[in-house]
Amino acid sequence: MAHGPTPGGGAPAGQIDRNYRAGRVIWLSIVAAMGGFLFGFDSAVVNGAVSAIQNKFELSSNFWNGIGIVVAIALLGSAVGAWFAGSLASKFGRKRVMVVAAVLFIIAALGQAFPFDVWDLMFWRFIGGAGIGIASVIAPMYIAEIAPAQMRGRLGSLQQLAIVTGIFATAVSNYVILQLATNNGTVTEGAVTATGEPIYARNEWLLGLEAWQWMFLIMVIPAIVYGILALTIPESPRYLVSIGKSKEAEEVLETVFTGSQSEKVAEIEQSLAGETKPKFSDLKGASLGLKPIVWVGILLSIFQQFVGINVIFYYSNSIWTAAGFSEDQAFLVTLITNTTNVVVTFIAIALVDKIGRKPLLLIGSAGMAVSLLIMAIVFGTAPIVDGQPVLEGLAKPGAVISANAYVVFFGVSWGPVVWVLLGEMFPNKIRAAALAVAAAAQWLANFVVTALWPQMASFSLAFGYGVFTVMAIISFFFVLKFVKETKGKTLESMAESMAAD
């Protein structure tokens, strides 16, 4: 389907070309965004397996030899994958790097499903994390380079939608596997929680494998689909021009746009000719060694993680079972939460260009602070049984409602909006380097929270949620004072921010 025929084919250089094939570009973007789906799937699949892994390998809640490092090690892999993804894509092309990510996901799925010991499991989780890091960079890069300017924002949002859909798919597959293994599997001797509740995720099911193994193994299917589809799409025109294949770049562009695209190729050649490699030295400034705008990006990334959202996606099953829910109920609550997360992402996409970035962040911080405070109070006032708060009566639905309200406020604000801001808030000259630093800060902050949560929870769930409440409150005042609205501004106008620095 083409839009708005333009005499003579492509638009003049630098102008918006409305003469594009929407169906074609949407399909290419969907294929690229499948990396985001696997990003969400691989990062959250461990949620259903936490209790089983902790029981099987007799892990404690300590940092280095406990369940926290097993879950969080994937995030260090993500930091490594994201750090090298850009240079790999520049050297080997976007398409090949997508295939590499798919292979890493396949290998990680198999390795995590069949570990010999806990160190082996951690290695494969690191490999899967590297795939996550690559996917987090390569998908938005490819989409931005293939999409028409006027569709770039909506198509770019497919990445965030794919991530939350992957998390949702994990909740569905984990729940279905648990149900099948519970009803048709064989109970594994000694597979019980600290309170004596059976861990059905350790039930032996198909082919003699335990249910938690199938939770990891199922990821092979979307990873193979991603790899096959990545082989069918064309290489990025920008990459093709960068390696001297301008004719091939023109042919690719003509599958997306109608008419001759020689002028568009010439425009890409011109932009590449004047492009300089970003340097981290460009980020230096008077504020503790960095420009203020860089610190804003770093702190946005840190606060996005320090409000504790990934505790919900990585540990919610074990949190709910420890609080008195059955394993089946815990998996169902997690499924509801992830469904909520997908729905509110659609709402965020609809609102971000209407309400603006800063108002959404402020609304999100306030809403998260209230819902997290309620969760801290609920868990803090619950009776303690065998060292764990057990929710009774109205406390159970109250905790579930508060947890889902927390996800709603995060999902319409800090989840997608931080990524939008990081992509547009930096001036052109420092954008790539500043974004790399901010993204690295985000992965490291995610690692810290994920690794430390088991110890925080074992000390007190009320304390853990109380810490996140404080972070949400601080994030509100941080946004109020330091974050500038970017709605409606061109990327080029961000140079004004540098002048203010």
Above 60 in pLDDT, residue 499?
Answer: no
Q: Give the HSE-up count for residue 286: Cα atoms under 13 Å, Cβ half-sphere.
A: 3
Structure token digits, residue 136: 């987090």
pLDDT at position 332: 87
Above 70 in pLDDT, residue 327?
Answer: yes
Please give the Cα distance from 64 to 452 (Å, whole number).
10
pLDDT at position 10: 41
Above 90 in pLDDT, residue 205?
Answer: yes
What is the mean predicted confidence (pLDDT) over 304-322?
84
Give, in order, the Cα–Cα distances in Å from 242 to each of 214, 277, 357: 43, 13, 34
pLDDT at position 493: 57
pLDDT tens-digit readout, 227-269: 999 999 999 998 898 899 999 999 999 988 877 778 888 887 8
What is the mean predicted confidence (pLDDT) over 339-356?
85
Above 70 in pLDDT, residue 21?
Answer: yes
Residue 303 within any structural domain of the chain: yes
21 backbone dihedrals φ, ψ, rounded to 5°: -95, 100
Please give the Cα distance from 311 to 409 (Å, whole number).
15
Q: Which range among 29-33, 52-56, 121-125, 254-258 shows the weakest confidence by mean pLDDT?
A: 254-258
Residue 54 within any structural domain of the chain: no
Above 50 in pLDDT, residue 15?
Answer: no
CATH code (residue 457): 1.20.1250.20
pLDDT at position 498: 44
pLDDT at position 288: 76
pLDDT tens-digit readout, 368-397: 999 999 999 988 888 877 777 777 788 888
3-state secondary structure 375-423: HHHHHHHCCEECCEECCCCCHHHHHHHHHHHHHHHHHCCHHHHHHHHHH
Mean pLDDT of the chain: 84
Residue 327 within any structural domain of the chain: yes
Above 60 in pLDDT, residue 31?
Answer: yes
pLDDT tens-digit readout, 35-73: 989 988 998 898 889 889 999 998 886 666 678 888 889
Model pTM above 0.75: yes
Give, in order, the Cα–Cα distances in Å from 491 to each of 301, 305, 310, 481: 20, 26, 30, 22
pLDDT band, residue 18 (cuts 50/70/90): low
What is the mean predicted confidence (pLDDT) over 141-164?
77
Above 90 in pLDDT, residue 350?
Answer: no
Residue 353 within any structural domain of the chain: yes
Range of 439's domain?
276-501
Judge contact between 379 and 496, C-beta under 8 A.
no
Q: Which range among 3-7, 103-107, 124-128, 149-153 shows the weakest confidence by mean pLDDT?
A: 3-7
pLDDT at position 4: 35
Residue 32 within any structural domain of the chain: no
How many domains does the chain contain in total? 1
pLDDT at position 52: 93
Residue 186 within any structural domain of the chain: no
Please give the Cα distance from 212 to 199 (Å, whole number).
10
Residue 185 within any structural domain of the chain: no
pLDDT band, residue 441 (cuts 50/70/90): confident
Residue 462 within any structural domain of the chain: yes
